Each structure stands twice: as C-alpha cells, then as structure tokens.
C-alpha cells in the first residue's frame, strides 16, 4: 500500500475544519469520527511502509593506517627529540663513516627531522645556503630499507632540499621499534680543497612506550 500523499492530508484537514465549524453537534461529531478514521488509516499505512532512514547513501569513514593517524595527530607535538650522536666532520668528496641512531627508549614514530651544516674550516665558521646545499645525507633502516632513493637506487639528498625552513622540523613519517637501527651517512659535495662541514641531525619522535 502506498504512503499517504498530499491529497489525503488535505482531505483530512478539510474534514477537521468542517467538523469544527458545523453548528450541528451531531454532524460535527460524525465529521470528527470520519477525520479520526482517516487519520488512523494514514497512520497504519505509514507504519506498514518501508522506513527510509536517510536520503543519502551511507559513507563509511576510511580506516587509515595507524601510523598515519599518529603522524597527523602528533606531527607538531613530539614527546622526544633524538639527536644523532658523534657525527664526524666531512671533508670534500669523502663520504663519512656510517653513524647509527638506536631507539632503545622504546617504539614509536619519527614524525620530523632537522639538519644543519657548519663550515668548520679555520676562520670560517659559516652556516649558510652553501653549506646546506653541499652537505648531503643518506639513510637506511637496519641496512636493508633505504629511505632516500632516486628511482634507480640509493642516493644522497642535500640538506637544502629537505630542510627549507631553518626554524622547524621537516615532516617525516617512519615507524620504528626498539630493535631498529637508523644508519646515516653524510657527504660533502664541495670540490677538493673546499670547506670541511660539520653536520648536525635531529629527529622529532613520538614514543609509544611508557618510558618515553
């Protein structure tokens, strides 16, 4: 059975109005009974009709990867800053020894990184665009997961490409556990005879362990 339509509703209103304005109490009572009967039929039709809860299709919220959720919630609020230790001075055209960063404080998410390069040549002590452009970095996780690639293989990236804002951490999302080792290597692309560079590198970290 179809649901009540506009015409039926108008008929009900007309019947109620006529009953209300009838001077004869008997006719008014009959009119009210008829209006009540019409309303009862309409209610019954509505109750039997399929119920539509929404005029729009249901849209299910995408289930994001947990690491992405944590990154978006905490990218500007790390609870730990991890500094890469014992970075050596890097001479021109001579890649540095590999430096390790461990996560013994517990598992979590790297959510940003920041680096600077200082010219430590005697009398220089500069830290400007040239130093940032000629100091490059390469990283891998546990020696088998390279974090910087060029599409064909592993590569170094200049500090100036990833640390454009000298006053803030650049976004970087990577989940790590307590057993992981981040292996980092630096290079100085200045020509032979150029400046020696002292890199520094730190990571913004969101620890998921109670110890952090």
pLDDT at 38: 74
pLDDT band, residue 175 (cuts 50/70/90)? very high
- What residues make up the domain containing 12? 6-48
Query: Do 147 and 197 fall within a single domain?
Result: yes
Query: Do 114 and 15 fall within a single domain?
Result: no
Query: Do 34 and 116 fall within a single domain?
Result: no
Segment 63-71 mean pLDDT: 46
pLDDT band, residue 33 (cuts 50/70/90)? confident
Out of 24-33, 83-92, 99-108, 162-171, pick the least confident: 24-33
pLDDT at 64: 42
pLDDT at 49: 65
DSSP summary character for residue 194:
S
Query: Do 135 and 166 fall within a single domain?
Result: yes
Question: Nearest CA to 158 among 187, 136, 186, 191?
Answer: 136
Can you give the CATH number for the domain in which 99 is found? 2.60.120
Whole-angstrom distance, CA of residue 212 vs CA of residue 209: 6
Query: Do 31 and 121 fall within a single domain?
Result: no
Query: Do 71 and 38 fall within a single domain?
Result: no
Number of domains composing the chain: 2
Whole-angstrom distance, CA of residue 24 vs CA of residue 47: 34
**Residue 173 phi, psi dihedral angles, 5° rounding:** -115, 120
pLDDT at 150: 93
56 part of a folded domain: no
The answer, as to whether pTM is greater than 0.75, is no
Whole-angstrom distance, CA of residue 105 vs CA of residue 11: 77
Query: Do 32 and 78 fall within a single domain?
Result: no
Query: Do 84 and 112 fall within a single domain?
Result: yes
59 part of a folded domain: no
Average pLDDT value for the chain: 80
Query: Do 74 and 102 fall within a single domain?
Result: yes
């Amino acid at each position: 059975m179809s649901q009540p339509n506009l015409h039926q509703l108008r008929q009900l209103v007309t019947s109620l109005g006529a009953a209300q304005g009838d001077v004869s109490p008997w006719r008014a009572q009959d009119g009210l009974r008829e209006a009540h009967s019409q309303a009862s039929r309409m209610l019954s039709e509505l109750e039997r009709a399929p119920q539509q809860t929404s005029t729009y299709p249901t849209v299910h919220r995408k289930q994001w990867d947990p690491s992405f959720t944590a990154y978006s919630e905490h990218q500007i609020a790390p609870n730990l800053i991890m500094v890469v230790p014992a970075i050596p001075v890097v001479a021109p055209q001579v890649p540095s020894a590999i430096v390790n960063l461990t996560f013994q404080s517990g598992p979590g998410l790297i959510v940003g990184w920041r680096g600077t390069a200082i010219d430590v040549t005697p009398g220089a002590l500069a830290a400007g665009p040239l130093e940032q452009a000629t100091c490059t970095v390469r990283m891998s996780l546990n020696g088998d997961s390279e974090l910087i690639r060029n599409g064909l293989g592993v590569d170094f990236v200049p500090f100036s490409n990833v640390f454009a804002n000298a006053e803030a951490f650049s976004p970087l999302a990577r989940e790590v556990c307590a057993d992981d080792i981040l292996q980092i290597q630096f290079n100085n692309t200045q020509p032979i005879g150029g400046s020696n560079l002292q890199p520094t590198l730190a990571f913004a970290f969101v620890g998921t362990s109670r110890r952090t």
